[in-house]
Amino acid sequence: MSVRLAGVGFVHANGVQTLSDIELSVAPGERVAVIGPSGAGKTTLLNLLATRLRPSHGRLELLGEQPWALSSRARQRLRARIGLVHQAPPLPPRQRVVTAVGAGRIGRWSTLRALANLVHPLDRGGVRDALARLDLADKLFARCDQLSGGQLQRVGIARVLYQSPELMLADEPVSAMDPILAGHTLALLNREAAQRGISLLASVHAVELALEHFPRIVGVRDGRIVFDRPAAEVTAAELQALYANAQLQQAPESHAPLQPIIPRC
């Protein structure tokens, strides 16, 4: 399994429990959307899988390794095999796009090579190819502070594609994009994962996009998994229960059989 969690929970330093008894397995090549209302624990779950957080209890395995049983150096090597797309990519404002994307492979480089890449990008062609998949090849030498929110999100995705990870995680990767571009981008992420035979887990703010682009849906609420099933089997009743007490934008009457549309979180 690429991902295996057994009885995993996470408690913040202030005593607030964000995740409880998470049981989840993801095989190589599976593509999974994680949905749920704001505060459900989706980002915490992805941060655990990225080893940015350590579980408070339970067993976590990633790519056949138990990250918190490894030495610090071995855990860093494992992190280099995992790509995380942030909702708001942590890109220095004055940094050039070519440098920001090229940094995706820093985990595999020596310190000397990483420093050299900051001064003179080492693989402009490879970075340009990653950007071209997201229609951003013309932004190769643009500064990050010259880009829109949606463009920055696509730069963050290009960075992970350039990294070529074995496990790809994405935390609301298209929240700053219009629906058409968001759909195209999620289709690209799924296509890349399928072609490379790697696992993809993404939290998705819009349920209709999750159902359209991901074969498997995991619903999370109050820090627990409430359903985990193929997208075609997710029912309107389950979605209503998942988002109960959240504001729902109902589908028009002419589309009554469709799943309800959940507003962006």
- pLDDT tens string 103-160: 998 877 667 777 776 667 778 999 999 999 999 999 999 999 999 999 999 999 999 9
Out of 3.40.50.300, 1.10.150.530, 3.40.190.10, 3.30.2320.30, select the CATH number for domain 1-81+167-265.
3.40.50.300
The string of pLDDT tens digits covering residues 165-221 is 999 999 999 999 999 999 999 999 999 999 999 999 999 999 999 999 999 999 999
Asked if 63 contacts 167 with a C-beta cutoff of 8 angstroms, the reply is yes
Q: Give the per-residue pLDDT at 250.
A: 34
Q: Give the per-residue pLDDT at 64.
A: 96
The string of pLDDT tens digits covering residues 60-73 is 999 999 999 999 99
Q: pTM here?
A: 0.88
Strand order, beta sheet including 224-230? 82-85, 167-171, 199-203, 31-35, 216-221, 224-230
SS (H, E, C) 185-207: HHHHHHHHHHHHCCEEEEECCCH
All structural domains of the chain with their residue ranges: 1-81+167-265, 88-164
Q: Give the per-residue pLDDT at 247.
A: 53
Whether 252 shows a pLDDT value over 70: the answer reads: no
